[in-house]
Amino acid sequence: MRVRYDIAEYEKLWQSDPQRYGCVPLAQTIDSLQIGAQDVAMLIDKGALECFEIGNDSGIRSMVTLRSLLIFKSARASVTQDRSIRILNILTEAARNKKTLLYGDVMQTMGLTYQNAMHREIFKKDLREATRKSELFERRVLISALLVYKIQFIPDDDVFLMAQEIGVFTPGKDSKTVFFKDQLDRIFQYYDSGNNR
């Protein structure tokens, strides 16, 4: 599905909801999916990927929403693939693109719903496992900090509990907001320096 916005319109939308309107260039989508440009165009036309055409008459740039890309990649993943590995792949892709993701959206890509308490527990267990499998974990950085709640824009309390367990966060002494920002900075810096390409 393609939607066209001029630059000012898109900037307003992105500022109002960066989770919903965060995009990656078409070339990066092709690279990420490891398929040809015609195949990506077909996925866009069939509605499997959401594409924004941003610009004006002097130049249009096609951008795919990161959310639709991650949902597609998750759905495409082998059903036999471990859920924690799928979560880690989604978080790694978001880290490479310097994006946070909504907790409920990632749960949904795993076939789970936030409203269901049992699903939340299953997801929390899988997310902890994904975090431990991340190469960042040995550096005492929690990739799960990329998952945030839409309203508060802060991770789930379990991220802070896990940080406390590994000795990088002390409740009452450390600020959740400062800790969260530091984790994001460290995650983005790690992938920005060319690691795990």
- Note whether residue 73 is domain-resident: no
Q: Is residue 174 located within the same domain as residue 103?
A: yes
pLDDT at 80: 46
Quick one: 43 and 120 in the same domain?
A: no
Q: Which domain holds residue 154?
A: 80-192
Same-domain pairing of 102 and 147: yes
The reply to whether 74 falls in a domain is: no
Beta bridge partners of 101: 147
49 and 88 inside one domain: no
Q: Are 145 and 151 in contact (CB under 8 A)?
A: no
Q: What does the pLDDT read at residue 77? A: 63
8 A C-beta contact, residue 154 and residue 176: yes
Residue 96 lies inside a defined structural domain of this protein: yes
Q: Are residues 121 and 60 in the same domain?
A: no
**One domain, residues 30 and 51:** yes
Q: What's the confidence (pLDDT) of residue 1?
A: 63
| Domain boundary, last residue among 16, 46, 68 | 68
- Tell me: the pLDDT tens digits for 107-157? 988 888 889 888 899 899 999 999 999 999 999 999 999 999 988 899 999
Full pLDDT tens readout for the chain, 197 residues: 678 888 888 888 878 887 778 888 888 888 888 888 888 888 888 888 888 888 877 778 888 988 888 877 776 665 546 889 999 999 999 999 999 999 999 998 888 888 988 889 989 999 999 999 999 999 999 999 999 998 889 999 999 999 999 999 998 898 999 999 999 999 999 998 876 54
Residue 41 in domain = yes
- Nearest-angstrom CA–CA distance, 179 and 36: 40
| 104 conformational bin, left if phi > 0, alpha if psi -120 to 50, beta if neither | alpha
Please tell me the pTM assigned to this model.
Answer: 0.66
